[in-house]
Amino acid sequence: MSMKRNLLLISLAFVMTLSACEALPVFGKEKFARKPISGYGQLVPVTEQRNALQHFITETLTGPHGTYTNLQETDQNSEVATGHEVLSESAGLLMRYYALTGQKDKFEAQWQLAKRTFDAPTGLSYRYSPKLNKKFTDNATVDDFRILRALDEAGKAFQTDAYKKDLAYYGDKLYTYNVSQSRLHDFYDETYAMTNSFITLCYIDVASMELLPVSDRKKRALETDMLEIMHGGYLSDSFPFYQTRYDFKLKAYQSEQINSVESLLTILNLAEIGEAKPASLQWIKAQVTVGTLVGAYDRNGKPLNDVHSTAIYAITAMIGSVTKDQQLYNESITKMNAFQNHTQGSQLNGGFGDELAQQAYSFDNAMALLAYVY
């Protein structure tokens, strides 16, 4: 397998899946300020479910290096993360959860563990295999943005400047290695000193770009160019989802199929800066209400499977919260809760997964946990 194809496979798998110095930069006024989270998670009575899920993740789905990608162990030798490998994705999701729930000690412990596990010369590795003692040499832009946001949220929640230096340090690394000519790339590989040639649209977290420790001019250029690419990937009002990626060299959008998790994350990113299309929000709400939102579609909106996943409803709940649509939030949480395991004595009790196969994925569970408090 060629290096180029290898890197392409790694990049596509991510969704499934400042130089150190004393002086910190002064951040300019935010153009795309994040909309305040509505806090519907504090209004819906899900404390019991949330506590059970937190216990499952921390006591069953977590090992000495972080949260397992899957409860079911593997040889950890696949192109994508499997088994008890750990991802910076999971660390960022849990950090956001601990910040939003005011769990200062748990946030600090999670961040210190994440640094020990994922810190790399060019930023943060996206994946670590304990069995192979292998830290992968790629980062993932979407996961790095999530960690930057968690550090910012923790500083505000705990009223401390303790995380500003780390935020600036890793934010600088992200901009230095993953941005070129006002273009954001999925990953940077330090082994080959290269990025990929495209951006996956759901990686474009415009609101979190405001946290990058660069000049306003550089931020505005990056945000403007990437927002244009996001909007250009819109499919249609009849099927208001988004293309998967944009190739800079080909100047073209590409999608083998439309993955719902990816498009929903794109819509969530747009909603957080007040730019989600009304057609998207209306379509999502209609599908959630009748329970017909599935995992994948063709570009005309034809369902390609009958998969109803935890993560899908977790993301639609977050969209409901950000857009202040409590009905969408409530219905999404209700649909999501139907997947939670409540079997006493089961290893999966409190978690989201397949009890028969004894499989539970970190993304589903961590996204559900975050949705409970959005």
Token pair 């599908």: residue: 287
pLDDT digits (tens, 9 = 90+) for 105-146: 999 999 999 999 999 999 999 999 999 999 999 999 999 999
Band of pLDDT at residue 38, cut at 50, 70 and 90: low
Res 45: pLDDT: 74
Average pLDDT in the 24-32 region? 41
- Start-to-end CA distance of the chain, whole Å, equals 42
72-80 contact pairs (CB < 8 A, 24+): 72/357, 72/358, 72/359, 75/131, 76/129, 76/130, 76/131, 76/132, 77/132, 79/6, 79/9, 79/10, 79/13, 80/9, 80/10, 80/13, 80/16, 80/17
Token readout for 101 is 């729930």
Are residues 329 and 317 in contact, defined by beta-carbon separation less than 8 angstroms? Answer: yes
pLDDT above 90: residue 26? no
Running DSSP on this structure, what letter comes out for residue 110? H
- Please report the domains of the chain, with CATH numbers, ordered by start residue: 25-371 (1.50.10.10)
pLDDT digits (tens, 9 = 90+) for 273-310: 999 999 999 999 999 999 999 999 999 999 999 999 99
DSSP string covering 146-207: HHHHHHHHHHHHTT-STTHHHHHHHHHHHHHHHEETTEE-S-EETTTTEE-SEEEGGG--HH
Band of pLDDT at residue 3, cut at 50, 70 and 90: very low
Res 41: pLDDT: 75
Percent with pLDDT over 70 in the chain: 89
- Global pTM value: 0.91
The number of angstroms, rounded, from the C-alpha of 352 to the middle of its chain's C-alpha atoms is: 18
Q: How many CA atoms lie within 13 A of 135 on its CB side?
A: 16
Token pair 């180029």: residue: 4
Band of pLDDT at residue 22, cut at 50, 70 and 90: very low
Res 40: pLDDT: 78
Are residues 49 and 340 in contact, defined by beta-carbon separation less than 8 angstroms? Answer: yes
User: Which residues touch 342 (CB under 8 Å, ≥6 apart)?
Assistant: 52, 349, 350
pLDDT digits (tens, 9 = 90+) for 336-364: 999 999 999 999 999 999 999 999 999 99
- The CA distance from 40 to 28, in Å, is 30
Res 358: pLDDT: 93
Res 11: pLDDT: 40
pLDDT above 50: residue 83? yes
pLDDT above 80: residue 9? no
User: Which residues touch 270 (CB under 8 Å, ≥6 apart)?
Assistant: 206, 230, 276, 277, 280
Mean pLDDT of the chain: 91
DSSP string covering 54-89: HHHHHHTSEETTEEBSBSS---S-SSS--TT-EEHH
DSSP string covering 192-238: TTEE-SEEEGGG--HHHHTTSSS-HHHHHHHHHHHHHHHHHTB--SS
Are residues 174 and 123 in contact, defined by beta-carbon separation less than 8 angstroms? Answer: yes
Are residues 296 and 260 in contact, defined by beta-carbon separation less than 8 angstroms? Answer: yes
Res 43: pLDDT: 66
